[in-house]
Structure 1
Amino acid sequence: MLRKVQPSMWRCQLMWGLLLLTAVPSRAKLGTFWHVSDFHLDVNYTAGDGDVTKMCWKKAGGYDGAQPGTFGDYECDAPLALVESAVDAMERIHPNPDFIMWTGDDTAHVDDNSLTNVLKNRFPNADVLPVLGNHDYYPKNQLPPTENDLQTKVADLWKTWLADEYADFKSGGRYYRDIPNTSVSVLALNTLIWYKSNQVTAPETDNDPAEQFKWIDDTLTELAKRKRKVYIMGHIPPGTFERYQQKKEGFHWFQERFNKKYIEMVQKHANVIKAQFFAHHHTDSFRLFFNATDATRPVSYMLLVPGVTPWRSSLSEETGANNPGIRLVTYDTDTGLVKEISTYYLDLTQANNNNRADWKLEYNFTKNYQLNAINPTTLYNLTKTMKTNRTLFDRYYSANTVNLEKPEVCQEKCQRLHWCAITEVDYERFSQCNAASSTSAWAAGTLVAAVVLILRPW
Structure 2
Amino acid sequence: MVTLQKALWGIILVVLVTCPYHTQARIGTFWHVTDFHYDVNYTTTGDSQNMCWDHRVDNTSPGKFGDYGCDTPLELVTAAIQAMVKIQPKPDFILWTGDDTAHVADKYFTTTKVVNIIHELTDKLNRSFPNTTFFPVLGNHDYYPKNQVPVGESDLQGEVAKLWKKWLTDEAHESFQKDGRYWTDVPGTNVTIIGLNTLTWYKSNTNTAKLPDTDPNGQDPGQQFAWANNILTILAKRRRRVYLMGHIPPGTFERYQQKKEGFHWYQTRYNDQFIKMVQNHAEVIEAQFFAHHHTDSFRLFFKNQQDHDPGIPVSYQLIAPGVTPWRSTLSKETGANNPGIRLISYDTVTGKVKEVSTYYLDLAQANKDGKADFKFEYNFTSEYNLTSINPESLYNLAKNMKKNSTLFNKYYKANTVSLESPSVCTTNCHLLHWCSITEVNYNRFNTCNAASITSLHWAAGSLLAVGLLLVNR
TM above 0.5, yes or no, is yes
Alpha-carbon distance, 1:314 to partner: 2.0
Please give the alpha-carbon distance, in whole angstroms, between the structure 2 residues aligned to 1:220 and 1:446.
35
- Residue 243 in 1 paired to residue 237 in 2? no
Task: State yes or no: 1:408 paired with 2:408.
Answer: no
State the distance in 2 between where 1:293 and 1:392 align. 26
Q: Does 1:332 align with 2:347?
A: yes
1:28 Cα deviation from its structure 2 partner: 5.0
Secondary structure of 1:167's aligned partner = helix
Aligned to 1:213: 225
2:46 to 31, 44, 50: 50
**Alignment-derived partner of residue 21 in structure 1:** none
Letter in 2 for 1:207: Q
Give the Cα–Cα distance (whole angstroms) in 2 for the partners of residues 140 and 230 of structure 1. 30
Out of 54, 59, 77, which is 2:55 matched to?
A: 59
Matches within 5 A, 1:379-418: 379-418=394-433
Q: Which AA in structure 1 matches 2:422? A: P
- Mean Cα deviation higher: 344-353 or 295-304: 295-304
Partner Cα separation in structure 1 for residue 353 and residue 143 of structure 2 = 32
> What residue in structure 1 maps to residue 144 of structure 2?
138
Q: Secondary structure at the match of 1:45?
A: coil
Pairing 1:307-346 to 2, within 5 Å after superposition: 307-318=322-333, 320-346=335-361
Partner of 1:435: 450
Conserved in 1, the CA contact under 8 Å of 2:333 and 2:424? no
Deviation at 1:319, TM superposition (A): 6.1
Per the TM alignment, residue 123 of structure 1 is displaced from its structure 2 partner at its CA by: 0.2
SS of residue matched to 2:166: coil
Say if 2:62 is the partner of 1:68. Answer: yes
How far apart are residue 178 of structure 1 and its match?
0.5
Structure 2 equivalent of residue 29 of structure 1? 26
- 1:114 matched to 2:111: no
- 3-state DSSP of counterpart to 2:287: strand
Q: Deviations over 1:210-235 (max 9, x none)?
A: 00001101111111111110000000
Q: Determine which of 172, 176, 181 is the counterpart of 2:183.
A: 176
CA distance in 1, matches of 2:434, 2:41: 38
Q: Say whether residues 1:255 and 2:267 are aligned partners.
A: yes
- The whole-number CA distance in structure 1 between the counterparts of 2:229 and 2:206 is 25
> Is 1:364 paired with 2:358?
no
Q: Distance in 2 between matches of 1:123 and 1:36?
A: 13
Amino acid across the alignment from 2:79: S
Alignment of 1:188 onto 2:220: no
Query: In the aligned structure 2, how far is the partner of 1:285 from the partner of 1:65?
Result: 31
Q: Write the distance in 2 (CA, Å) between the matches of 1:170 and 1:383.
A: 39
Which stretch shows the higher mean deviation, 207-216 or 156-165?
156-165
| Distance (Å, rounded) in 1 between the aligned partners of 2:201 and 2:375 | 35
Distance, in Å, in 2 between the alignment partners of 1:388 and 1:53 is 43
Residue type at the aligned position of 2:43: T
1:233-260 Cα distance to aligned partner (Å, 9 max, x none): 0000000000001111111000000000
Tell me which of 198, 204, 208 is aligned to 2:205.
Answer: 198
Count of residues in correspondence between the two structures = 419
| 1:163 to partner: Cα distance | 4.0
Give 1:51 deviation, angstroms: 5.2
What residue number does 1:267 align with? 279
Matched, 1:38 2:35: yes
1:21-44 superposed Cα distances (whole Å, 9 cap, x missing partner):
xxxxxx951010000100000111
Question: Amino acid of the residue matched to residue 388 of structure 1?
Answer: K
Amino acid at match of 1:73: D
Partner-residue secondary structure (3-state), 2:165: coil
CA contact (8 A) 1:283 1:304 kept: yes
TM-score, length-normalised on structure 1?
A: 0.88
Equivalent position of 1:18 in the other structure: none
Q: Relative to 1, partners in 2 of residues 1:54 and 1:159: Cα closer, same or farther, differing over 3 Å?
A: farther
CA deviation after TM superposition for structure 1 residue 361, in Å: 0.5
SS of residue in 1 equivalent to 2:448: helix
CA distance in 1, matches of 2:331, 2:409: 22
**Cα RMSD after superposing both structures:** 1.9
Corresponding residue SS for 1:241: coil
Partner Cα separation in structure 1 for residue 233 and residue 197 of structure 2: 19
Match of 1:233 in 2: 245
Residue type of the alignment partner of 2:90: N
Partners of 1:223 and 1:365 in 2: how far apart? 28
TM-score normalised by structure 2 residue count? 0.86
Q: Residue 327 of structure 2 contacts residue 336 of structure 2 at CA under 8 Å; is this kept in 1?
A: yes
**Residues 166 and 251 of structure 1: CA distance in aligned 2, closer, same or farther (over 3 Å):** same
Q: Is the 8 A contact 1:249 1:434 kept in 2?
A: yes
Structure 2: 5+ residue runs without aligned partners?
1-23, 103-108, 465-473
Give the AA of the match of 1:339: K
Give the match's secondary structure for 1:44.
coil
1:263-321 per-residue CA deviation (whole Å, 9 max, x = no partner) reads: 00000000000000000000000000001457331000000000000000123433610
Residue in 1 aligned with 2:14? Answer: none
Q: 1:406-445: per-residue Cα shift (whole Å, max 9, x none)?
A: 00110111000000000000000000000023xxxx2x44
- Percentage of pairs with the same residue: 62
Match of 1:224 in 2: 236
Query: What is the alpha-carbon distance in structure 1 between the residues aligned to residue 262 and residue 384 of structure 2?
Result: 26
1:67 Cα deviation from its structure 2 partner: 2.0
1:355 counterpart (366, 370, 374) = 370
Instruction: Give the Cα separation in 1 of the matches to 2:149 and 2:204.
Output: 10
Q: How far apart, CA to CA, are the structure 1 residues paired with 2:334 and 2:202?
A: 19
Please report how far the alpha carbon of residue 106 of structure 1 lies from its aligned counterpart in structure 2 after TM superposition: 1.1
